[in-house]
Chains A and B, each alone.
Chain A
């Protein structure tokens, strides 16, 4: 199989779906002439022309509304936000219109639309340009929320998202664009709502998504060296949520650690932990751990910024606690409460 980057996989998905369906178009800031702020859309203007790769003024609400209206009329817009932070300007359109029109119209107006953006922690971009906002979208019925962690998933999930008849918030991770991985040469579609088991293990399930799924794999590798056999489940989407895969895994391992980069309060991670209790309470040998971003705006200074999101060490410690390993440190938030 060819090895390509996450960025190239996204580009391939866009190009294939634009070939597949003439109703698919890309719209957003700097997607055309500039070739994409993160160069995901590079070359697409030349290939598909300015009618289908559309540069916009800095009017997030305006071009999101335009996308919703075009989707009501039956096109398949792929709206790109330069970063997820800027889509906050358009939340009324996303929450009140994209998410609800199918329901409010009693099924007359599906909104087949993808809202793409880099999400998650950047490098020293501070509070307004460096955050994980998936929890907002997962909260709103009517939206699907998809977060690929590998090039193959970036390809297969984006293609499925574009073909889906619902508004799909497609959250790419800025730190993954250069990640390389094997990608099938033939047409590759990954259904939305199916988790991927990244690593089999018998001692504890690490449940995660997006970049943190990669970090969990690394943590599981490190834990293996000390004889701990962790399983890694990459959810790939928060909505739909693959509760069956979560249940199956936790029924095997009897322990669960939920890992996400986003801040914790009101989070999907907390919801996932609740679901674990619902579907596997009798199977659990330890409380479910949540390893999430600190409940703070992202700071700028390198050393403090590093503390704001989970790292391998935090995940490993959580697993050690879950398996009752002697001397495992308390989670940071608990230590702070006791201080």
Chain B
């Protein structure tokens, strides 16, 4: 089912917001307002916006560490996201998690983990819980191309297939596991074929193209919803910046980055909007300005939020309750 105009414009705005958010957060990192490790999503927006837009509110995401964009797409409060990056009490993890550990139970965003491959196993567990309770939700489990070489990838895909768990494994293949290219890390670079070896149907989509991602997501999620079996999808995409904020990216050529930027996911959507005369150039400029203004407000919120109190140190080490 093709997207209607409203939905397309909503996703376009979301992509603009995420890109602006990441750009400004990255700048805040250079000002030492954001600390730790910071992995920007810029360049990969079509994947998250396309796939997550098809999820239901009660579906769950288990994510890896490049999680800011996914969090916003799932309905997370971008102010709480920025505040988390700033290490503030109003952050989506109370300032305890930081960039790699965004959480919001109320929207089904189950983190944010900093250990490569871990989200695959956790998402399989969420899928197990859904099946155990007889629910019809799906767990979208997101990871990068580096994760397919962890043992947990193989163990989890085997379990999910063996037990028929409602999980969509989404591999955001941005061609580099930190600085190591897919060719230098994977004996088999067709990642979908790995999944097939566990009896899980798999396909590859253009991760720069929102329309392709959205179409694949609609089809795959509907199939899982119907037959309760896992699927695997590899979205080939590209991050414009380094692996993290401190990465100068010496392992890639300028030409390669430029070539990918020509297929910019936001540019592709803009072209469609203009070609089909849904909006004009002035409206596009207006939406860019809206996103910039929104992120300014988000930054102001994060800046002005309080730090966690010293008592936070010992809070939430152990849960007080029992069943």
Contacts and interface: CB of A to CB of B under 8 A. Distances in A.
A25 B132 CA distance: 10
A69 B103 contact: no
B318 A142 contact: yes
Contacts of B316: 102-103, 105-107
A59 B158 contact: yes
Interface string B97-112: 1000101110000111
Nearest to A141: B317
A70 B159 CA distance: 13
Contact of B152 (A62, A104, A142): A62
Interface in B132-161: 132-133, 139, 151-152, 155-156, 158-159
A285 interface: no
B158 A109 contact: no
Contacts of A160: 322
B94 interface: yes
Contact of A110 (B115, B124, B319): B319
Which of B93, B123, B315, B323 has the most CB atoms of chain A within a 10 A radius of its CB? B323
Interface in A46-104: 51, 56-57, 59, 61-76, 92-93, 96-97, 101-104
Given A61-B155, A65-B121, A109-B105, A74 B93 contact: no
B105 A108 contact: yes
A125 to B, nearest CB: 25
A163 interface: yes
B124 A62 contact: yes
Contacts of B104: 108
Contact of B321 (A62, A106, A110): A110
Given A61-B121, A68-B122, 16 more contacts: A56-B159, A59-B159, A63-B159, A65-B155, A66-B125, A68-B121, A69-B62, A72-B122, A73-B110, A102-B319, A105-B111, A107-B316, A109-B103, A110-B319, A142-B317, A164-B322
Interface of A: 21, 25, 51, 56-57, 59, 61-76, 92-93, 96-97, 101-110, 112, 141-142, 144, 160, 162-166
27 contacts: A57-B155, A59-B155, A65-B118, A66-B121, A66-B159, A68-B122, A68-B125, A69-B127, A69-B129, A70-B128, A70-B129, A73-B129, A97-B113, A97-B118, A102-B316, A102-B317, A103-B96, A104-B112, A106-B95, A106-B96, A106-B97, A109-B103, A144-B318, A160-B322, A165-B320, A165-B323, A166-B319
